[in-house]
Amino acid sequence: MSDTPEIPAPLTVSAVSSQAKFLLESHFDQVRVEGEIGDFTAAGSGHWYFTLKDEEAQIRCAMFRGANGRVRFRPGRGDNVQVRGRISLYTPRGEFQLIVQHMQAAGDGALQLRFEQLKAKLKSEGLFDSDRKQSVPEDARRVGVITSASGAALHDILAVIERRSPMTQVFLYPVPVQGTEAAPALVAAVQQANALHESQAVPLDVLIVGRGGGSAEDLWAFNDEALAHAIADSTLPIVSAVGHEVDFSISDFVADQRAATPSAAAELVTLDTMEWMQRLDDIQRLLQNTVKRRFSHAQNQLGHLRARLRHPGVVLAQQQQLLAGQQQRLNSLIKNRIDQGKTSITHLSRRLHARHPMQKLVDLRSRLADRQQRLQRRQRQILERLSTGLAQQQQLLRSLGPDNTLARGYALVTDAKGKIIRRASATEPGDGIRVRLAEGGLQAQVTAVTEPEAES
């Protein structure tokens, strides 16, 4: 396969113009421009073509009949105006231009000033921060819609959902969308939809809040501060779809996602069955191309392997030789394991015999008989030693006892209560005494008390 990079084919003029148009329109969602009208032409078709200029540059502009019908004054050469629109490219002539969708006199900016002030306030409070926004489902099955029951916005939403995803259910919360009652009604509808969702009475996947196009005054209900806070506090993800593509409201900035129109909001939250079929076709083509590339690569590899393939007989002989060596090693390993097993069995048999219960019982009986003999000998020795000691104590007791003393001619004298009298001074004449002799005893009365003689 060649490694030379492929040189891209040259583009046609139409292709270059189309790509430039795509880049301009995708980069500039919408712009607001103020300037002086130069050349102005009202075509018979109802479209307006003019230039906007300042001291250093000018821009070609086009305002089509559907958009300029909402302008409340007739512009002319030299008028200072403020316009909103999108940047585009007129491919037949390759001219850069501004498609104008809203125009007002440059001095009529009271509503716009209020809009910008509220926008700055809410932005400083964090209501526009992207990190607080919820993700909007692209395959919603239960969609809540807050808009006028008789407006074109509801018709557009229902038509788009019926075409793209007929199985999706729509729940309408009808409200007025312009006038003094519109903003409080919108706030109440957002809160009601959330309450019914949280109680599971009417569970929803997403909520669309919006209306069709109109003047700045017509759309002003969607620039209400209370509505902005209600949208920010919503637990349901909210898509704001107010007016046309160039119309921006406060609810667009607070909502989790903005849709250019009510129809675009319906497309945003539903899956188009035709798009899915197209995606499946694209995936099928991609899969087929991938399989073809893999198959081609496999064929190349197969050819390379065929070139390296050796004769089967040589491979077979090598495998047989390897098998014979493995067989020999296996036999040797088996024999060694058997010999080890036999040795282990012999050793275990000896240990088992030595620990057999009968052998243990014989050993225990022998040890028991030996200890019984030793115990009997020990008992005899203790009894003999105790008998000898007892005889000696008896002999000593007899030799030291009072009977032996009395037998030698001594007497034991006690008072009438049996208390031994050791001193003559312990008695008085007339006291009764008892005298114990070796054989028998005497009862006597003290007639006189003799003091012991003093030692010379």
Q: Domain with 88 in it: what CATH number?
A: 2.40.50.140
Q: Best-predicted range by mean pLDDT among 7-11, 260-264, 407-411?
A: 260-264
Query: What token pair was written down for 376?
Result: 């009997």
Residue 2 has pLDDT above 80, yes or no: no
- Whether 155 and 177 share a structural domain: yes
Cα–Cα distances (Å) from 292 to 282, 287, 295, 418, in that order, read 15, 9, 5, 138
What's the structural domain count of the chain? 4
In a domain, 399, yes or no: no
- Whether 227 and 286 share a structural domain: no
In a domain, 398, yes or no: no
> Closest Cα to residue 64, out of 85, 47, 87?
47
For residues 231 and 262, is the Cβ–Cβ distance under 8 A? no
User: Each residue of 65-106: pLDDT tens digit?
Assistant: 989 988 877 888 888 888 999 888 887 787 888 999 988 877
Last residue of a domain, one of 108, 130, 163: 108
In which domain, by residue range, is 285 found? 273-300
Tokens 């759309």, residue located: 219
User: Each residue of 305-351: pLDDT tens digit?
Assistant: 777 776 777 778 888 888 888 888 888 888 888 888 888 888 887 77
- Whether 254 and 283 share a structural domain: no
- Whether 285 and 251 share a structural domain: no
Last residue of a domain, one of 75, 108, 141: 108
- Confidence bin at 149 (pLDDT 50/70/90): very high
- Whether 281 and 264 share a structural domain: no
- Whether 134 and 245 share a structural domain: yes
In a domain, 232, yes or no: yes
- Whether 157 and 278 share a structural domain: no
- Confidence bin at 186 (pLDDT 50/70/90): very high
Beta strands in 301-349 (DSSP E): none
- Whether 161 and 83 share a structural domain: no
In a domain, 410, yes or no: yes
Last residue of a domain, one of 108, 140, 173: 108
- Whether 287 and 237 share a structural domain: no
What is the C-alpha separation between 263 and 90, in angstroms, rounded? 26
297 half-sphere exposure, CB direction, 13 A CA radius? 6
Q: DSSP readout, 353-370?
A: HHT-HHHHHHHHHHHHHH
- Whether 33 and 144 share a structural domain: no
- Whether 282 and 150 share a structural domain: no
* Helical spans, DSSP H, in 110-214: 110-124, 152-164, 182-198
Give the three-state DSSP class for 292: helix
Q: What is the predicted pLDDT for the residue at 17?
A: 66
What is the C-alpha separation between 456 and 66, in angstroms, rounded? 168
- Whether 131 and 247 share a structural domain: yes
Residue 6 has pLDDT above 70, yes or no: no
DSSP type of residue 221: G
In a domain, 372, yes or no: no
